C-alpha cells in the first residue's frame, strides 16, 4: 500500500468511525431536541467554522511547508498566540454585548471563544500529522470527539430544562476531549519564542492571512451561511431541517473529502518537491473520488425522503426532502475540498482566491434568489445548481494550474 493510500485509509477510517457514532446518536438526538434546537446548533456551527478560520489566520496551512521542524514550530507558536488573543477578544465582546442587553447573548454565540480556540489547537495537531505523514492519532481523535459529543449531547438533552444549549455545548466538549487526547498522545515541544521571532515568522508567511485566509473564508461561506440565510428568509425551524439534512449528507461528504484533501496535500507537496509532473495524478485522484462519491450520494438521496420520518421522527421528515435537493451541492463540495490546495502549493494564491469566490458566492446568490421568490425548494435547487457550475469552473482552473506547474517544475533544468 502506498503512503498516499495509507494516509487516506487512516483518515477515512477515523472519519467513518466518528460518523457512525454521530449517525447512531442522531435518531435519539432528534427525539430529545426540536427542529428549532437544531436550527440554533446550525447557526452556532456555521459561526464557529468561520471564527475558527479567523483565529488561525490560516497560518496552520503554512506548518506543512518548511522542510525543517524548527521553522514549522515557529509557525505553530505564532498561530496559537494569534488564536488565544482573538479568543480573548471575542469573549470580551460577548461580555460587552451581554452588559449592553442586560441579558445573556443567544446560546449559539456563547461557546464561540472556547470552540474557536480548540479548533485552532486541533488544526495544529492535524498539520503536524501531515508533516509526519502519520494520521493514526489524529484519526483516533475524531472518534474521541464524536463519542464525547454524542454522549454529552444526549445527557444534556435529558438534563437541561432549556435544551437549546445542549447541542453547541456537546460539540465544544467533544472538541475539548479530542484536544486532550492529542496533547497526551503527542506532547508537542513548543518553547516560548521572542517577540522578534514571531514578527519574523509573521512577515515570512504573511501571504497566508493576506491571501489564503480570504480564500478559506470564502470556502466556508458555502456551508456556513445557508443556515443563517434560511433562518432569516424562512424560520429557525427550517434552519433546523437543513441542519439535519446537512448532518446526514453534506457533513459526511465534507469530512471524507477533508480526509482525502489532507492526504492529497501532503502527497502533492512531496511530488512538487521532487519536481514531478502532477497533472495526470491530480486528475486521476479527482476522477476516482467523484465516481465513489456519486454512487454513495445517489444511494443516500434515493432513500432519504422515505427514511427520515421513520428514523428521526415525523418532525424531521422535511429534512429528507431537503437532502434530495442538496445532494448535487454535496458532490460539488466534495470535489472542491482537495482541489483548492493546488493554488496554494503552486503559489497561485490570488487565482485560488478568485476560484473560491466563484465556488462560494454563486451558490449563495442563487440560494438567496430562490428564497426571495418565497420557496425553500427553489432556494436549495438554485444552491445546488450554482455549486455544480462553480465546481466545474474551478476544476478547469486547477487543470490549467497543474499544467503550468508541470512546465515550470518538472522540466526545469
Query: pLDDT of 124-143, one tens digit each?
Result: 888 887 777 777 888 888 89
Claim to verify: residue 127 and residue 220 sit in the same structural domain? no
pLDDT of 256 over the 50 cut: yes
Cell representation of residue 114 = 472556547
* R_g (Cα) of the chain, nearest Å: 21
Q: How confident is the model at residue 2 (pLDDT cuts 50, 70, 90)?
A: low
Claim to verify: residue 44 and residue 186 sit in the same structural domain? yes
Place of cell 525543517: 68
Reduce the secondary structure of 23-58 to three states and give it as a string.
Answer: HHHHHHHHHHCCHHHHHHHHHHHHHHHHHHHHHHCC
Q: Which domain holds residue 107?
A: 1-205
pLDDT, residue 413, reads 36
CB contact set of 166 (below 8 Å; sequence gap of 6+): 32, 33, 37, 153, 156, 157, 160
Which segment of 11-20, 57-66, 141-150, 277-286 scores lowest on mean pLDDT?
A: 11-20
Claim to verify: residue 246 and residue 217 sit in the same structural domain? yes
CB 257 within 8 A of CB 333: yes
Return d(Cα 54, Cα 43) in angstroms, integer: 17
Which residue, 151, 179, 205, sits at the end of a domain? Answer: 205
Claim to verify: residue 238 and residue 132 sit in the same structural domain? no
Claim to verify: residue 108 and residue 195 sit in the same structural domain? yes
pLDDT, residue 16, reads 72
Alpha helices in 274-375 (DSSP H): 279-312, 317-339, 341-345, 349-372
Claim to verify: residue 46 and residue 181 sit in the same structural domain? yes
pLDDT, residue 410, reads 46
Q: How confident is the model at residue 193 (pLDDT cuts 50, 70, 90)?
A: low
Claim to verify: residue 231 and residue 290 sit in the same structural domain? yes
Claim to verify: residue 288 and residue 170 sit in the same structural domain? no
Domain count, the chain: 2
Q: How confident is the model at residue 388 (pLDDT cuts 50, 70, 90)?
A: very high
Claim to verify: residue 53 and residue 91 sit in the same structural domain? yes
Q: How confident is the model at residue 192 (pLDDT cuts 50, 70, 90)?
A: low
CB 194 within 8 A of CB 77: no
pTM: 0.76
Claim to verify: residue 365 and residue 313 sit in the same structural domain? yes
Which residue, 151, 177, 205, sits at the end of a domain? Answer: 205
Claim to verify: residue 211 and residue 347 sit in the same structural domain? yes
Claim to verify: residue 244 and residue 103 sit in the same structural domain? no
Which residue, 205, 228, 260, sits at the end of a domain? Answer: 205
DSSP annotation string for 226-253: HHHHHHHHT-HHHHHHHHHHHHHTHHHH
Amino acid at each position: 500500500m502506498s503512503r498516499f493510500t495509507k494516509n487516506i485509509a487512516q483518515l477515512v477510517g477515523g472519519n467513518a468511525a466518528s460518523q457512525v457514532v454521530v449517525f447512531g446518536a442522531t435518531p435519539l438526538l432528534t427525539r430529545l431536541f426540536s427542529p428549532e434546537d437544531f436550527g440554533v446548533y446550525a447557526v452556532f456551527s456555521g459561526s464557529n467554522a468561520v471564527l475558527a478560520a479567523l483565529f488561525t489566520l490560516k497560518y496552520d496551512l503554512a506548518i506543512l511547508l518548511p522542510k525543517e521542524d524548527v521553522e514549522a514550530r515557529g509557525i505553530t507558536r505564532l498561530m496559537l498566540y494569534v488564536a488565544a488573543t482573538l479568543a480573548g477578544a471575542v469573549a470580551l465582546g460577548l461580555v460587552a454585548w451581554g452588559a449592553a442587553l442586560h441579558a445573556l447573548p443567544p446560546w449559539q454565540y456563547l461557546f464561540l471563544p472556547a470552540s474557536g480556540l480548540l479548533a485552532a489547537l486541533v488544526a495544529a495537531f492535524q498539520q503536524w500529522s501531515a508533516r509526519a505523514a502519520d494520521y493514526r492519532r489524529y484519526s483516533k481523535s475524531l472518534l474521541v470527539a464524536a463519542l464525547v459529543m454524542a454522549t454529552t449531547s444526549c445527557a444534556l438533552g435529558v438534563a437541561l430544562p432549556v435544551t437549546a444549549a445542549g447541542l453547541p455545548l456537546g460539540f465544544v466538549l467533544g472538541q475539548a476531549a479530542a484536544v486532550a487526547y492529542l496533547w497526551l498522545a503527542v506532547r508537542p515541544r513548543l518553547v516560548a519564542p521572542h517577540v522578534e521571532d514571531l514578527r519574523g515568522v509573521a512577515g515570512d508567511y504573511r501571504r497566508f492571512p493576506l491571501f489564503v485566509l480570504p480564500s478559506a473564508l470564502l470556502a466556508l461561506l458555502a456551508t456556513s451561511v445557508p443556515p443563517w440565510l434560511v433562518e432569516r428568509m424562512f424560520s429557525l425551524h427550517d434552519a433546523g431541517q437543513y441542519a439535519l439534512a446537512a448532518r446526514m449528507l453534506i457533513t459526511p461528504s465534507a469530512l471524507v473529502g477533508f480526509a482525502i484533501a489532507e492526504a492529497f496535500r501532503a502527497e502533492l507537496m512531496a511530488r512538487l518537491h521532487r519536481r514531478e509532473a502532477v497533472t495526470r495524478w491530480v486528475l486521476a485522484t479527482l476522477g476516482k473520488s467523484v465516481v465513489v462519491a456519486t454512487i454513495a450520494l445517489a444511494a443516500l438521496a434515493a432513500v432519504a425522503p422515505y427514511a427520515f420520518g421513520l428514523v428521526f421522527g415525523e418532525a424531521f421528515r422535511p429534512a429528507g426532502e431537503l437532502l434530495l435537493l442538496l445532494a448535487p451541492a454535496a458532490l460539488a463540495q466534495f470535489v472542491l475540498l482537495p482541489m483548492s490546495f493546488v493554488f496554494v502549493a503552486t503559489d497561485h494564491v490570488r487565482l485560488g482566491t478568485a476560484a473560491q469566490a466563484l465556488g462560494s458566492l454563486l451558490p449563495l446568490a442563487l440560494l438567496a434568489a430562490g428564497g426571495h421568490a418565497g420557496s425553500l425548494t427553489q432556494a436549495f435547487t438554485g444552491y445546488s445548481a450554482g455549486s455544480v457550475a462553480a465546481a466545474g469552473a474551478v476544476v478547469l482552473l486547477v487543470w490549467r494550474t497543474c499544467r503550468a506547474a508541470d512546465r515550470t517544475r518538472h522540466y526545469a533544468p
